[in-house]
Amino acid sequence: MGVELGKWSYIKEPQFSKQKIDAVIKGAIQSDIYVIIDWHSHNINLKEAKEFFAEMSKKYGKYPNIIYEVFNEPDYETWPEVKAYAEEVIKVIRENDPKNIILIGSPHWDQDVNLPAEDPIKGCTNLMYTMHFYAATHGKELRDRTDDAIKNGLPVFISESAGMEASGDGPLNYTAWQEYIDWMEARKLSWITWSISDKEETCSILKKSAKSEGKWKREDLKESGIKVREYLRKYNTKK
């Protein structure tokens, strides 16, 4: 859920935003799949976040489908600032939902996972920390940094990723993307790709012909969508 940007953002139109996210959450529960309630922001909005997650956790906390992402991508905030914010939001969620997973972002667009690894949130369970990559921009250095965080005991969830540049545009780098896929599979890391949209950008996987009800055919998918579906069908198997 977009928090700040655009005329329909949560800050400007909270009821509209909640109606949209409610529809997605209810659809996921009915379909028996996981759903991430993502506070999609680049800035700290503590008061608004606490109110939102108090309402969401009270409404949906009883369902095992729910995962909370309390701060999608901190950019220039320090880890102590992000940590203090997350601790406040976690308290609000845990009053209603004692055990569903909560995802925590890290500074520099979820790149600096070494920082929470050195100073993780204490006294809470079922927390994970997010790392984001765009394969045409982010290379082995980010994987190595994440490996170090994992070795230090940090539970990592890849809550945003794709094969193009970090801008969401530019050509797909299939070789670099496959390197990331292999790396994630070897470490049994959960990963999500960005994004299910029909905007004019490489990362939006749908063409304008794609219907909102789903059941998309190959001709409804852009190049990135075709590749994502291939990856999901290949790797989303029970082992």
Q: 69, 73, 77, 165: which one is catalytic?
A: 73
Active site residue 73: yes
Distance between CA atoms of residues 64 and 39, nearest Å: 19
Distance between CA atoms of residues 195 and 208, nearest Å: 14
Instruction: Burial-class residue 30 by CB neighbours within 10 Å (0-12, 13-18, 19+).
Output: exposed
Please tell me the number of Cα atoms within 13 Å of 132 on its side-chain side.
24
Instruction: Burial-class residue 45 by CB neighbours within 10 Å (0-12, 13-18, 19+).
Output: middle
Residue pair 169/223 in contact by the 8 Å Cβ criterion: no
Q: 48, 81, 95, 160: which one is catalytic?
A: 160
Q: Which residues are catalytic?
A: 73, 160
